[in-house]
Amino acid sequence: MYSRRLFAITALLCVTTSAAFAAVPGYVVDFNEGSTDPFYSGATMDWHASGGVGGADDGWISVVRETPGNLGAATSDLNIVGNLTADGVTGYSFWLRDLGSPQPLNIHVLIGDPFISFWQTNFSFTPVSGEWREYSIDFSDPSQWSRTQGDGTFAEALANSGRLLFRYDQPPYQNNPDPVVGGFGLDRITVLPEPASLILMGAGALVAARRRRPA
Ligand SMILES: [Ca+2]
C-alpha cells in the first residue's frame, strides 16, 4: 500500500515537473494580471490596463526608447520556451502596434539560447500606428533565420530555447541590434499551434476519413 502511494506521488511529481518545464501550445500571454510579467526589457516598459487587442478592458504593454538604445522585449516564461521541437511548438503569434515612432520600426523575432545558439528572423514586422495588427512566425524554413549569437544550429536553438525576444534591428543581423528611438505596443502572444487549429486538424482528418468511405 505504502509503495503504491509513493509510486502515485512520484508519478504526480514527474507529471508536474515535466509540465512546468515544457512550452505549451495554445498558451497565451494577454497582460491582464496587472504587470508586464513575464516580459523584461532594457527599454522603458509599462503595463496598461485597457486598450489592448481585446479593447477597453484588455491589458497590454508598451516598450519605448525616448533616447537612442536597444528596443526590445523578451520572456523566458517556461510555458513559452524550452525544447520547442519536443514540445510540439511550431511558432508564435503576437500583436503589435506602433506608438508614434519617428520612423517605421522593423521588429524581428529571436529564439534560442543567447550563449549557445540564438537566431533572428531575416524578415521583420512593421507595426502600424494606432492600430493593433496580428503577426506570426513559424520554424518551417531555417533559411529565414540568421544566427546572431553562439555557434549552434537552428535545430539546436529550437531544442534549447531559453528566450523569446521581439526587437528592433537593421541588417546585418549580429549580436547587438541597432539603437533606435521609438516605441511599440505588445499584446496577446500565443504559443502555436493553438488548440483550435489542432481540433480543426483533427476534424479535417475525420472529414477526410469519412469522404474516403464508399457512400
Ligand atoms: Ca491583452
Is the distance from CB of 145 to CB of 137 less than 8 angstroms? no
User: Where is pLDDT greater, at 204 or 130?
Assistant: 130
For residues 43-50, average pLDDT: 98
The full set of domains in the chain, from first to last, is 22-212 (2.60.120.260)
Is the distance from CB of 187 to CB of 47 less than 8 angstroms? no
Instruction: Give the type of residue at 70.
Output: N
Identify the helix (H) or strand (E) that includes residue 60: strand 60-69
Grid cell 547587438 is found at 176
| Centroid of ligand 1 to alpha carbon of 113 (angstroms) | 27
| Centroid of ligand 1 to alpha carbon of 32 (angstroms) | 6
User: Where is pLDDT greater, at 85 or 208?
Assistant: 85
**Is the backbone peptide bond immediately before 114 cis, with ω within 30 degrees of 0?**
no
Is the distance from CB of 152 to CB of 161 less than 8 angstroms? no
The C-alpha angle with vertex 190 and arms to 189 and 191, in degrees rounded to 5, equals 130
| Centroid of ligand 1 to alpha carbon of 95 (angstroms) | 9
The mean pLDDT value of the chain amounts to 88
List pLDDT tens digits, range 53-103.
999 999 999 999 999 999 999 999 999 999 999 999 999 999 999 999 999
| Centroid of ligand 1 to alpha carbon of 53 (angstroms) | 5
Percentage helix, strand, coil for the chain under 3-state DSSP, each rounded to 5? 20, 40, 40
| Centroid of ligand 1 to alpha carbon of 177 (angstroms) | 27
| Centroid of ligand 1 to alpha carbon of 48 (angstroms) | 9
pTM, two decimal places: 0.83
